[in-house]
Amino acid sequence: MSLKKRFDVKKLSFLKFSKINDDLKEKYLSNFFSKHKPDAIIHLATFFTKKKDKETLDKCLKINYENSKILFNSALKHSIKKFIYTGSNYEYLASKEKEYPYITSKRKFSLFLKAKKINRMELISLYVSNVFGFNDKRKKLINFLIKNKNSKKNIKFFGNKNAKLNFVNISDVVNIISLSLNKNFKIKKNFLTIKYPSDFLLEKIISIFKENNSNIIFERISNSKKDNLIKENDLVYKNKVFPNYKPKVNLINWLKKI
């Protein structure tokens, strides 16, 4: 069930917000908050890319850090009761070799949230590794595989035989956000991980798509230079898992049904 069916949700277009001149952004938010008088803000908007050039870094920092900071500060100013933010577990990598600007910008905003002093607002930062579901247009692994499921493109993935990733379905993320909206947290700042109880072998995921497209290949390697996909063994989990809720949708079962 969507959040719109559970709550009175008003959408603030972050794309439109990003295009507004910086000196007018606070006024735009002030008008929005005064009109709708929200009890909570759910900040899901982000600019995702894996490009690593300076132009991309500047864009990621502008949208994912600077604009997010303006939104949060405005929420504080207007006495919004809750601020729910979705971050990435990829912000905590064991090595920075696989880091790209998107991750850098997300981590910078998380550090800002941790340093910011708040008195009345409840902050709930939810960190996920990979989210999947229908109607997802982002350039992510599962979306890419679904898009090429029936194509004849030659697609090759690299990794060792034990390479694993963690995936959470969007419906479980929505359920956790809903719980966060209704829950009274004991502390003002909450940094929590959303994680499916078990990880998924990358080779197993690829094998499901290989049944339709034999040109999708998983090649076992020991050469880490070829293996640039971030996996579970690349992560350092620093936040507690969201309490009293375990994600229910299993990626493998979901893929077999589509």
Question: Does residue 232 contact residue 164 with C-beta atoms inside 8 Å?
Answer: yes
Percent of the chain past pLDDT 90, that is, above it, reads: 69
Model pTM? 0.91
Q: Is 48 exposed, middle or buried (0-12, 13-18, 19+ CB in 10 A)?
A: middle
Domain residue limits at 138 = 3-256
Greatest pairwise CA separation for the chain in angstroms: 57
pLDDT of residue 9: 81
Question: Does residue 67 contact residue 14 with C-beta atoms inside 8 Å?
Answer: yes
pLDDT band for 223, please (50, 70, 90 cuts).
low
Question: Does residue 103 contact residue 142 with C-beta atoms inside 8 Å?
Answer: no
Question: Does residue 146 contact residue 130 with C-beta atoms inside 8 Å?
Answer: no
CATH number, domain at 78?
Answer: 3.40.50.720
Residue 159 scores a pLDDT above 70: yes
- Which residue bears the tokens 């956790």? 176
Residue 89 scores a pLDDT above 80: yes
Residue 241 scores a pLDDT above 80: yes
Question: pLDDT of 8-33, one tens digit each?
Answer: 788 888 878 888 999 999 999 999 99
Percent of the chain past pLDDT 70, that is, above it, reads: 96
Number of domains in the chain: 1
